[in-house]
Amino acid sequence: MEEFTEEIIPERAPDQPELAPEPQPETPEEQESIADKVRIISPTRLVLKRFFRSKLSIVGLCMFLFLLLFSFIGPLFVPWTETEVDYSGKTTTTIVSVETEADGEVYTVYMVEEFTGSINNHASAFTYSNEGENSRLHLFGTDENGRDTFVRLMYGGRMSLMLSFLVVIIYTVIGVILGGLAGYFGKWVDMIIMRIVDILNCIPSLPILLIVGAILDGVGIDQAVRIYYMLGFLALLSWTGVARLVRGQILFLREQEYIVAAEALGMSPMRKIFHHLVPNVMPQLIVSMTLGLGSIILYEATLSFLGLGVPISMASWGQMVQRATQNTEILSYYTMEWLPAGILIVLAVLSFNFIGDGLRDALDPKMKR
């Protein structure tokens, strides 16, 4: 007798949903396609992306690169040097009218006088030296001493930019050291350093620099190195802002977990300050240094304008503008000898301010754009 087995299949209620199939593991091809769609951006690239999103930041960066190339690379392509004088001579024609009376009638006599000097001074823009076949172009003309104005603009920019970077680096280092000590140790160390900061903030910088300049002149310091003493003294007065910035940031950061861990590991205070705390303040320091460059350029131009800058033989933008104030003829009739220098000062200050604003927005983690 044959046996039959019957398989019993449970019935599903009509309103019961169907069970979803178990998810299958992703294949390597699918995992690679998902990885291709996800892009990880490093913090540096994120900052650069935010920075270049601002049009003013790009404009400031372009102006800064132009000034660097103009000041440091430009002299290689100009046939003149900073102190070279054009001795090719310049012929000046003067017409003088004289009224004379003869036979009861008044006559006007015009006398033409030509004078050829040994120096080709106050030459017009886009003129050449009187050297025959070896004539060289004066793109912006020459000054009162026969020196090429265009090449002096380049060397003047080199001097102004180098001095500005040097001063900013010096007072930033001083501010980081003193601000770091005040913020980390606190108590009497913080009190002493902050009282020094308050005293220096009460001192007007420009009048003090004028007094220092007069003292240096009385001592007999050479004019070629006087500007370095002046800006060095300015650096000693300008570190207070950086110190306050670093102190405030370190007061906040010293209570973080990684500093507590560093202290538990037995690290020295100097290592904790300069290896763990100060690097976290670098974004704010970069912004502060960038904005400070513009103010130092203005200080250098002001000192040169007041006659306390570089000597006449050396070029700086402020010194070129200052020559126009001493000679009203240059101010009125030879604008190419001082106006381009003033325009370059404005461009330099604007470029640093635009870059500083862009970096401040790019490094701010709270920025949403």
Give the model confidence (pLDDT) of 192-237 as tens digits: 988 998 888 888 888 888 888 888 888 878 777 888 888 888 888 8
- Residue 293 is predicted with a pLDDT of 85
- Residue 18 is predicted with a pLDDT of 55
- CATH number for the domain formed by residue range(s) 64-78+150-363: 1.10.3720.10
d(CA 315, CA 58): 29
Three-class SS of the chain: CCCCCCCCCCCCCCCCCCCCCCCCCCCHHHHHHHHHHCCCCCHHHHHHHHHHHCHHHHHHHHHHHHHHHHHHHHHHHCCCCCCCECCCCEEEEEEEEEEEEECCEEEEEEEEEEEEECCCCCCCCCEECCCHHHCCEECCCECCCCEEHHHHHHHHHHHHHHHHHHHHHHHHHHHHHHHHHHHHHCHHHHHHHHHHHHHHHCCCHHHHHHHHHHHHHHHCCCHHHHHHHHHHHHHHHHCHHHHHHHHHHHHHHCCCHHHHHHHHCCCCHHHHHHHHHHHHHHHHHHHHHHHHHHHHHHHHHHHHHCCCCCCCCCCCHHHHHHHHHHCHHHHHHCHHHCHHHHHHHHHHHHHHHHHHHHHHHHHCCCCCC
- Residue 113 is predicted with a pLDDT of 61
Structural contact between residues 354 and 143, judged by C-beta atoms closer than 8 angstroms: no
309 has pLDDT over 80? no
Structure confidence at residue 334 as a pLDDT band (50, 70, 90): confident
- In the chain, the percentage of residues whose pLDDT exceeds 70 is 80
- In the chain, the percentage of residues whose pLDDT exceeds 90 is 8
20 has pLDDT over 70? no
25 has pLDDT over 80? no
237-248, pLDDT tens digit by residue?
888 888 888 888
- Region of residue 310 (left: phi > 0; alpha: psi -120 to 50; beta: else): beta
Of 145-154, 167-176, 276-285, least confident by mean pLDDT is 276-285
Q: What's the helix, strand, coil split of the chain in %, to 5?
A: 65, 10, 30
Average pLDDT, the chain: 79
- Residue 23 is predicted with a pLDDT of 57
What's the DSSP call for residue 70? I
pLDDT average, residue stretch 283-294: 83
- Residue 62 is predicted with a pLDDT of 92
Structural contact between residues 154 and 139, judged by C-beta atoms closer than 8 angstroms: no
54 has pLDDT over 70? yes
- Residue 1 is predicted with a pLDDT of 47
- Residue 69 is predicted with a pLDDT of 93
Q: Domain extents for the chain?
A: 64-78+150-363, 90-138
pLDDT average, residue stretch 272-284: 79
| b/e 270-279 (16+ beta carbons within 10 angstroms → b) | eebbeebbbe
Single pTM value for the model: 0.74
